[in-house]
Amino acid sequence: MAFVLSRSATYTWPVVLRLPADGGRMERQTFDAVFNRLPQTRINEIQDQVRAKQNDPGVEITDQSVADEVLAGWANVLDEDGEEVPFSAKSKAELLDIPAVASGIVVAYFESVTGNKAKN
């Protein structure tokens, strides 16, 4: 297949989450994220900040801040009644405040831009 220079600002990618559930088990949940297509220079900056944070805890970067930057929308996020949750700044903030969700989004994002699956 020929390379197509894409100029779309976003793309859809599956996010797989493992969240704690009753009985001491982990429950697999998924949704489709709409990710911002960041330029490679910004991806490099994020990776540099992550590496710098390993040596200097004062570096300001978190999974929540990265997930907030890359997440532009979603599909298949439901409320407790099974109704689709519309994407908004408020619902995004609520989602990113759930433990393990922001980390799962960041893992999925970097899998999408590197083509490598994260190792557990």
Helix axes 89-96, 63-70, angle to 10 degrees: 150
Helix (H, G, I), strand (E, B) or coil at 87: coil
Phi, psi for residue 8 in degrees, rounded to 5: -65, 145
- Amino acid 45 reads E
Q: What number of residues does the chain have?
A: 120
Is the pTM higher than 0.95? The answer reads no
Question: Could you tell me which of 1, 11, 19 has the C-alpha nearest to residue 37?
Answer: 11
- Amino acid 19 reads L
Per-residue confidence of the chain (120 residues) as pLDDT tens digits?
A: 788 887 789 999 999 999 999 999 999 999 999 999 999 999 999 999 988 988 888 888 999 999 999 999 999 999 999 999 999 999 999 999 999 999 999 999 999 998 877 554
Question: Could you tell me which of 33, 34, 31 has the C-alpha nearest to residue 9?
Answer: 34
What does the pLDDT read at residue 3?
84
Q: How many other C-beta atoms can be found within 10 angstroms of the C-beta atom of residue 91? A: 14
